[in-house]
């Protein structure tokens, strides 16, 4: 007989929290409560990956229809019906949220649709005034969009609001150079919006391989997106024609929509953690050890709120590892190495392992790189180019990194990640017979390095 109301109380109903709660309850036999103050499913399902990918699909149809005509189909395109899409999107998100709720209820998890904070090492307090004691607490509150404190910041929207716009703008400014900013710039451009992107850095998609991100930037500009690197916003002002953005390059331009996608911050403030003794780093992230345990032994944290690797599948694996360790008696540490990732720009960028810049710092390196026009769009008369790139340690012969830019890059990188995670060598790739005609065959047909360091 437990001395607590719950064995585990999870604060946050996103991917990591839901996975941890389900495994702890269904497979670990724990009595679990979960509190979510917004919608079940968290950022990924409600305000991020899922609705954004559906918008990516929607924005790709103009090129698909143009290609169809080039292939001989009598395809007549029309105007994009944003209200129709938004209604269908809302219905799909409702379906997914209900699926998450059903999964938790079937596992025996008690759901509290309200905000929760930590009162002490074994007590949580709900916004309703209720208090529950719990043996363990898991913080899985994710992150939140960051907008810098500039004059007129209230005139901007963040990625959270992009799926509920009453109408598509005619002119949009996207501020930021990360994957969220670049993806939305491509989405809006594909939907017929005139898009300008400001980024204060020298090149968009910082942290990704330089050659790959340069490839994406060039393609975005060729598609009509006005990418201005080395540029930031000084202030936003209301204007007769919309919103005036005064920039650091001395220009003043008017837009109908200004989207700030300048990063996300861990959503850890105001939960009572600091008073309890849980350590937050300078970025506001909860500091945890390799077991996702905080400085307070009964309190754990997973997902973006820890600011380790901010990806939904990572949060899920961290949550699962926590539940295995604490409730199933199977000590599990998630290894944050060789995690594949994808940027759903147009073209897509996908990668796993080291970038060329990272690998060069470690010692000798062979770089295999191929850029080519893919068959499907070449036939349609488009100038698209794909990039395939492998980084190889010339001593061990292991493939240290793989980077792909082009259609279906994300689908390909998932399989490449398996091989690289198993320690595949360049010769393992070379021995693999190519599937022809495909773009992916380039990964196993590059024989001579483009560069050697």
Q: Could you tell me the end-to-end alpha-carbon distance of the chain, in angstroms, rounded to an integer?
A: 64
Residue where the block lists tokens 């969009």 = 145
Residue where the block lists tokens 């754990």 = 300
Determine the 3-state secondary structure of 42 from DSSP: helix
390 DSSP β-pair partners: 368, 402
d(CA 201, CA 425): 35
Nearest to 209 by CA among 351, 348, 386, 379: 351
Report the C-alpha dihedral over residues 152, 157, 159, 160, rounded to 10 degrees. 120
The one catalytic residue in 122, 215, 228, 436 is 436
The alpha helices in 78-123, defined as continuous H runs, are: 82-107
d(CA 47, CA 52): 8
The answer to whether 436 is a known catalytic residue is: yes
d(CA 16, CA 306): 11
Plot region of 334 (φ>0 → left; ψ -120 to 50 → alpha; else → beta): beta
Nearest to 301 by CA among 4, 11, 6: 11
> 403, 209 in Cβ contact below 8 A?
yes
Q: How many residues does the chain have?
A: 453
d(CA 216, CA 367): 19
Nearest to 218 by CA among 71, 365, 386, 351: 386
Residues annotated as part of the active site: 436
């Amino acid at each position: 007989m437990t001395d607590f109301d719950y064995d585990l109380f999870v604060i946050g109903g996103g991917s990591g929290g839901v996975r941890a709660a389900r495994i702890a309850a269904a497979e670990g036999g724990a009595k679990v409560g979960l509190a979510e103050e917004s919608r079940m499913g968290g950022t990924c399902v409600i305000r991020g990956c899922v609705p954004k990918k559906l918008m990516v699909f929607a924005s790709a149809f103009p090129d698909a229809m143009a290609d169809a005509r080039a292939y001989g189909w009598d395809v007549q395109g029309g105007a994009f019906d944003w209200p129709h899409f938004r209604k269908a999107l809302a219905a799909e998100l409702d379906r997914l949220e209900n699926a998450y709720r059903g999964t938790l209820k079937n596992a025996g998890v008690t759901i509290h649709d309200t905000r929760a904070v930590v009162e002490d090492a074994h007590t949580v307090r709900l916004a309703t005034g209720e208090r529950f004691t719990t043996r363990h607490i898991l913080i899985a509150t994710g992150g939140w969009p960051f907008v810098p404190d500039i004059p007129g910041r209230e005139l901007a929207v963040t990625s959270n609001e992009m799926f509920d716009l009453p109408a598509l703008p005619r002119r949009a400014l996207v501020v930021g150079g990360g994957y969220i900013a670049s993806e939305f710039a491509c989405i809006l451009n594909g939907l017929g919006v005139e898009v300008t992107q400001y980024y204060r850095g020298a090149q968009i998609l910082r942290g990704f391989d330089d050659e790959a991100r340069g490839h994406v930037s060039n393609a975005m500009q060729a598609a009509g997106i006005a990418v201005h690197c080395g540029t930031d916003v000084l202030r936003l002002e209301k204007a007769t024609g919309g919103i005036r953005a005064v920039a650091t390059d001395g220009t003043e331009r008017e837009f109908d929509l200004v989207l700030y996608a300048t990063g996300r911050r861990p959503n850890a403030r105001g939960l009572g953690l600091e008073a309890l003794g849980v350590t937050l780093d300078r970025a506001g992230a909860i500091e945890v050890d390799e077991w996702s345990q905080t400085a307070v032994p009964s309190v754990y944290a997973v997902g973006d709120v820890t600011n380790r690797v901010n990806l939904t599948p990572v949060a899920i694996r961290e949550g699962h590892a926590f539940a295995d360790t604490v409730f199933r008696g199977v000590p599990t540490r998630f290894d944050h190495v060789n995690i594949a990732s994808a940027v759903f720009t147009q073209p897509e960028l996908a990668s796993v392992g080291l970038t060329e810049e990272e690998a060069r710092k470690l010692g000798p390196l062979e770089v295999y790189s191929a850029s080519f026009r893919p068959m499907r769009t070449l036939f349609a008369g488009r100038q698209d180019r794909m990039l395939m790139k492998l980084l190889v340690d010339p001593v061990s012969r292991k493939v240290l990194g793989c980077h792909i830019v082009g259609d279906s890059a994300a689908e390909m990188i998932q399989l490449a990640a398996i091989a690289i995670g198993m320690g595949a060598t360049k010769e393992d790739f070379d021995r693999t017979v190519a599937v022809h005609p495909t773009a992916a065959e380039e990964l196993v047909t590059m024989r001579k390095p483009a560069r050697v360091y």
